[in-house]
Chains A and B, each alone.
Chain A
């Protein structure tokens, strides 16, 4: 308790202020009266008679404005009735009178710590005001829509629920009004407006309810006896309607949605096809271009190859003359066979110089025939010693030097005969038979030919 004069904090049992000497007897009586109303308000609030609680608490505060408990409780009652701003106002005033150890701090903090919730409350209030304005301007339908939103967001907002119920009553929708009123009668059980509206709704419903003859004849009367248990019949129509609804839904999907989806898919594929066609055309064009380029390059290669060949042919080949000079040297040294072999390596087509050709022919005449004979002798000795492979090489060289060396041809055939290569042996024997009939080897070749297997 505080002194009304000097605001000193005092115990309730003292009758005089210890600081300023103020007589507190009357003051204490006033506080006691305020507390009586506070206790009444608290009792009513506990049984959810919020309207009654609010009235008592207001009286309590009219008697003693510093009754913090009464003011805080009034704030809570307002908050429960959906009157958030009034609740906040009470708590702020409470805080003003008792800055410390005040429950109002906690209540306000719980609201202010959640700005989203506070904003939602504000929007709800604005919608309620808009609905009220619409209702006053006879736009009941719009008002009902707005109030439905308001009551769904804030079901405890008594005034909104009452206004909605009033509009339903005016529209003749008593059931809906009754539902609203029953909902709020649970929040505030003794609200005069709610009770009046409920009476209005129930009075209008009475004639329908009070028809005992009809009620007895109705099957619901069976439940009132309470003696028999009867299982409720399954409502087949509900299931039938459900199935019909599903079937209609499926058909609607096939009729409305499926063709659209199909069309979209077809369009998508058509677009893709166009894209692929473009890509194919582009690639074909690239291939044609590359093929053209390739053909050009091939032609260029052929031209270059031809040019190269011509250049090579026309190029002065030193190796021709090297072989020529070597052959000349060997000839001068008396090595006729080696000179002849060297001369074989000379490409006569490339001997452009007439003098060179003359030298070539001179050495050839002097060495080839003689060389062939020498090689034949060498090959023969190899043949006699059974070295047929070496003999074959030497006989072939001898034939290169002198194609008419019948001895070399015959023994070449003999070497192959010894090696059982009858095909090649026959070839050389027949060469003797056909081209060198006058040769001394003719008879031998003929005889050997007869010994060959067919």
Chain B
């Protein structure tokens, strides 16, 4: 049985076109290559 109150909380407002730039800047672009690079840097230190 679906709990409406719980379900409705899962819905988030959609970003409009004006907020696209903000969404791009907030995007977490760290990938595995970055992590490995950081690890290698730490090892070298």
Task: Report which A residues bind B (CB closer than 8 A).
Answer: 4, 26-27, 30, 33, 61-66, 83-86, 88-89, 92-93, 118, 121-122, 125-126, 128-129, 132-133, 135-136, 159, 162-163, 166, 169-170, 193, 196-197, 200
Contact = CB atoms under 8 A, between A and B. Distances in A.
Nearest to B40: A26
Given A89-B27, A200-B2, 11 more contacts: A64-B32, A65-B29, A85-B15, A85-B17, A86-B15, A93-B27, A118-B17, A135-B8, A159-B11, A162-B11, A163-B8
Contacts of A132: 11, 13
B24 interface: yes
B30 to A, nearest CB: 8
B33 A85 contact: no
B43 interface: no
B16 A126 contact: yes
B42 interface: no
B14 A89 contact: no
Given A30-B36, A64-B31, A121 B17 contact: yes
Contact of B32 (A30, A128, A169, A170): A30
| Chief secondary structure at chain A's binding surface | helix
17 contacts: A27-B33, A33-B32, A64-B33, A65-B30, A65-B34, A86-B23, A89-B24, A93-B24, A118-B17, A121-B17, A125-B17, A135-B11, A159-B11, A159-B14, A170-B4, A200-B1, A200-B2
B31 A85 contact: no
Contact of A122 (B7, B13, B16): B16
A166 B4 contact: yes
A371 to B, nearest CB: 131
A25 to B, nearest CB: 12
Nearest to B10: A193
Contacts of A196: 2
A432 to B, nearest CB: 134
A26 B36 contact: yes
A130 B12 CA distance: 11
Contacts of B11: 132, 135, 159, 162-163
A83 B20 CA distance: 11
Contact of A61 (B15, B19, B31, B37): B31
Contacts of A86: 15, 23
List the 7 closest A-B pairs by CB distance, nearest first.
A65-B31, A85-B15, A129-B13, A125-B16, A122-B17, A63-B32, A89-B23
A275 B32 CA distance: 91
A169 B2 contact: yes
A136 B8 contact: yes
Contacts of A122: 16-18
Nearest to B31: A65
Contacts of B27: 89, 93
A85 B20 contact: yes
Nearest to A60: B31
B26 to A, nearest CB: 9
B18 to A, nearest CB: 8
Nearest to B37: A4
A133 B30 CA distance: 33
A265 B11 CA distance: 59
Contacts of B33: 4, 27, 30, 64-65
Nearest to A62: B31
B14 A166 contact: no
A145 B27 CA distance: 33
A89 B32 contact: no
A93 B14 CA distance: 19
A197 B7 CA distance: 10
A438 to B, nearest CB: 143
A196 B24 CA distance: 31
Given A30-B36, A197-B2, A84 B17 contact: yes
Contacts of A84: 17
A83 B24 CA distance: 14
